[in-house]
Structure 1
Amino acid sequence: MGQKITIIKHPLLRHKLGHLRDKNTNSNDFREITKEISKILAYEAMREWDQMEPVAIETPIAKTTIERMINPPVVVSILRAGNGMLDAVLSMLPIASAGFIGIYRDKFIHNTVEYYFKMPENIKGKEILLCDPLVATSDTIVAAIDRLKQYEVGKIKVLCLIASKIGLEKLHFFHPDVEVFTLNVEEEINEVGYLVPGLGDAGDRLFQTK
Structure 2
Amino acid sequence: MTFKSTRHELQFQIGPQLKLLPLNDQIRELQTIIRDKSTSRGDFVFCADRLIRLVVEEGLNQLPYSECTVTTPTGHKYNGVKFEKGNCGVSIMRSGEAMEQGLRDCCRSIRIGKILIQSDEETQKAKVYYAKFPPDISKRKVLLMYPILSTGNTVIEAVRVLTEHGLQPKHILLLSLFSTPHGAKSIIQEFPEITILTTEMHPVAPTHFGQRYFGTD
| TM-score range for the pair, normalised by the shorter chain length | 0.7 to 0.9
Cα offset, 1:32, TM superposition: 2.1
Cα offset, 1:50, TM superposition: 3.1
Runs of 4+ in 1 over 4 A off after TM superposition: none
Q: Which amino acid aligns with 1:2?
A: I
Q: Relative to 1, partners in 2 of residues 1:49 and 1:112: Cα closer, same or farther, differing over 3 Å? A: closer
Distance 2:44 2:155 in 1: 22
Superposition pairs of residues 1-210 of structure 1, within 5 angstroms: 1-3=13-15, 4-8=17-21, 9-52=23-66, 54=68, 56-59=70-73, 61-65=74-78, 66-154=80-168, 155-187=171-203, 196=204, 198-210=205-217
Contact 1:159–1:182 under 8 Å retained in 2? yes
Unpaired stretches in structure 1, ≥5 consecutive residues: 188-195
Instruction: Provide the TM-score with structure 1 as the length reference.
Output: 0.87
Contact 1:163–1:186 under 8 Å retained in 2? yes
Unpaired stretches in structure 2, ≥5 consecutive residues: 1-12
Distance 1:84 1:69 in 2: 24
Alignment root-mean-square deviation, CA? 1.8
Distance 2:76 2:86 in 1: 26
Distance 2:43 2:89 in 1: 23
Contact 2:148–2:207 under 8 Å retained in 1? no
Distance 1:205 1:48 in 2: 29
Q: Which amino acid aligns with 2:39?
A: T
Instruction: Provide the TM-score with structure 2 as the length reference.
Output: 0.85
- Bigger fraction of residues in helix: 2
Contact 2:118–2:154 under 8 Å retained in 1? yes
Task: Classify the secondary structure of the residue corresponding to 2:139.
Answer: coil
Cα offset, 1:28, TM superposition: 2.5
Distance 1:116 1:25 in 2: 33
